Chains A and B, each alone.
Chain A
Amino acid sequence: MKIKLVIGYWLLVIGLFFFWVSIGCTQSVSSTDLINNAKEYDGKIVVYAGEVIGDIMARGENAWINVNDNKSAIGIWTSKDLTKTISNTGSYKSKGDRVEITGVFHRTCPEHGGDLDIHAQEIRKINSGGEIPEKLNLSKRNIAFILLGVLCLTLILKQLKIK
């Protein structure tokens, strides 16, 4: 009984340790943190996660992607090969893939005219995005119909009075 308790205790400790390590290792920095504390992060390797939005803009062997973490979007300079895993980018009709970027952060990137950016070393897809189905908003449609009636009435009244 005592041995079981000791083993259970150590399993719990080891489990908590790995949980803490995993949290610590994958803890990504937010865009707000990067922008507000750019000096501290400048030139360091950071982990940043968010949704890929807009276009994947290929530039020769490399590409620009913009990744939004719901606060701001940050430009990621990456090799074109690393973008192959990205299949959806965020727009009105589509939710972009959620990715985790590990790379070097630049407060004012000398290679890119002073942009605040991250040069990616690794891109890991966390979640796949996909199409956002659009459902017709019935209440809006009904309001539009009622207003159309009012508008017709207004125009008819206007014509009648003129005659």
Chain B
Amino acid sequence: MIIRPNIADIKIIGYYLGKIILGLGFTMLVPIAMGFALGEINPAIDFFISIELSLILGSLLIKLCYTEKDLSWMEGMIVVSLSWLVAMVLGAIPLYLSGHWNSYLDACFDAMSGFATTGLALVQDLDHISFAHNLWRHLIMFIGGQGIVIVALAFFVKGVSGAFKMYVGEARDERVLPNVIHTARFIWLVSVVYLILGTTALGIVGTLNGMKPFNAFFHGACIFMAAFDTGGFAPQSQNILYYHSLPFEVVTITIMILGAINFKLHYHIWMGNRREMLKNIETVTLFITIMITFFITAFGLTQIGTYPKAMMMFRKGFYQLISGHTGTGYMTIYARQFINDWNHLALVGVICAMALGGAVCSTTGAIKMLRVGIIFKALLEDIKRIILPERAIVVQKFHHIKEMFLEDKQARSALIITLAYLVLYGLGAIMGMLFGYPFLDSLFESTSAAANVGLSCGITTVTMPAALKLTYIFQMWAGRLEFMSVFTLIGFFVAVFKGK
């Protein structure tokens, strides 16, 4: 029997949603400050309107739904899934007001793409956008990459046991530190330290590349936020191709890889346990899958001789591959070049890389390395069971921070999520084909959206059908949250209408 949620359930969801909306609203102070500092008055007003709407909505929800009850698992999951939708709606307001998006749906598309750290974009005339709006585009990637709820947990929630439920709902099932709020703060500390280092590195490279120092450091900060959070937005319409610079590409590759690593692993490296890097199942799997997918891509590109020199292969083939594998979506080629200049094999290599993703408890999307490693280990275990005598006891171990025995429930959980991702990739591809796009193009774009990558082969444009835009928004949302909170939200609505 399905139990209909009562008013207390709805109140507790509304209360925490209100807190998260307040947190999101306050982040708009950053672009407002930027707008005023640079004399961009109209953009600053766009953000004023948006922050006011956010604070009104957040305050009303907190007021009307005030409760002292703690969250249950179901409520925590629903708060998370709704938070991301509300963040999209509110985050899109300043974008739409700027006049650089053709419709509010397009602005919502880019807002979800930003928060979910995807990187697919429908912005128009990006090369003339204000600094304030450009900063916001990248800031939402930074916020989304850490997790919208993490923002609230780190700064606005104190000592709530329900915090862990929201933390898990945001596709982070690992705690770096015993306390989830300390974990959230640690994630922010890591990100801010890397932000300073990364911005400095990119700023220096940009200046040496001939950019004006202010632009170089502004671009450096934006590119860092989008690269570390494996987002993929860039301040200029040509993405990374704008810089025409090998050092810039090398620095972004380093940042993308750092972003694709588990925060727990960052913690152990920070604590001096560098050997963990070499032993961890995720880093080993990441290294192997990068090698395999790059081999496929490079073989395909060599077949057609698109990039005959090693440097060209590195800057075009390897760059797109690593960008896809880490879920970033930075590009040093034009979208249509994937279709015009790459063959099917090379595209399949990139699609596989995008579908796999980075580490769990990182800012990447997709299936993720721990699950791939576990599935592979489970397969090995089954093969051993067949080969070895029946009386033999087969155990499979893997190293993830500590030595662990592989359990059936871990393999089952990894397989379920993997299957859910494969279904999501496939459904998006079918939607693309329904609108007349070829199979491989549709699969490429769908995988990119659902795995929160952002590489595009040219389907994502303002002229694509609204239904396809909505499909990709759904894919970005569901892919980022890794399904559980989305399924819970769907279950909640079913219970509201069918429950007793």
Binding site for B on A (CB under 8 A): 35-36, 38-39, 53-59, 63-64, 66, 68, 70, 72-73, 75, 77, 90-93, 107-108, 110, 112-117, 134, 136-137, 140-141, 143-144, 147-148, 150-151, 154-155, 157-158, 161
Contact = CB atoms under 8 A, between A and B. Distances in A.
B262 interface: no
Nearest to B212: A55
Given A57-B210, A73-B237, A92-B40, A113 B311 contact: yes
Contact of A147 (B52, B97, B236): B52
B336 A73 contact: no
B60 interface: yes
B340 interface: yes
A158 B334 contact: no
B242 interface: yes
A161 B53 contact: no
Interface of B: 39-43, 45-46, 48-49, 52-53, 55-56, 59-60, 62-63, 97, 125, 127-131, 209-212, 215, 236-238, 241-244, 246, 306-309, 311-316, 332-334, 336-337, 340-341
B202 to A, nearest CB: 14
A57 B127 contact: no
B209 A59 contact: yes
A31 to B, nearest CB: 9
Contact of B49 (A63, A68, A73, A144): A144
A110 B242 CA distance: 17
Contacts of B309: 110, 114
B337 A158 contact: no
A108 B336 contact: no
Contact of A54 (B41, B43, B242): B242
A53 B149 CA distance: 37
A137 B316 contact: no
B236 A114 contact: no
27 contacts: A35-B337, A38-B340, A54-B242, A55-B215, A57-B210, A70-B125, A72-B238, A73-B127, A73-B238, A75-B238, A75-B242, A77-B244, A90-B128, A110-B308, A113-B315, A114-B309, A114-B312, A114-B316, A137-B45, A140-B46, A140-B49, A147-B48, A147-B52, A150-B56, A155-B59, A157-B63, A158-B62
A53 B315 CA distance: 23
A122 B79 CA distance: 59
A38 B45 contact: no
Contact of A136 (B41, B236, B241): B41
Contact of A91 (B52, B127, B209, B308): B127
Given A35-B337, A64-B210, A144 B52 contact: yes
The 10 closest A-B pairs by CB, nearest first: A57-B210, A114-B312, A113-B315, A147-B52, A53-B127, A58-B210, A114-B316, A92-B130, A55-B211, A144-B48
Contacts of B241: 75, 115-116
A108 B63 contact: no
A59 B236 contact: no
B341 A144 contact: no
B40 to A, nearest CB: 7
A154 B128 contact: no
B308 to A, nearest CB: 8
B253 to A, nearest CB: 13
B341 to A, nearest CB: 7
Residue of A57, A59, A108, A114 most packed against chain B (CB within 10 A): A114
Nearest to A68: B127
A38 B405 CA distance: 54
A35 B209 CA distance: 25
A136 B309 CA distance: 53
Nearest to A64: B244
A111 to B, nearest CB: 10
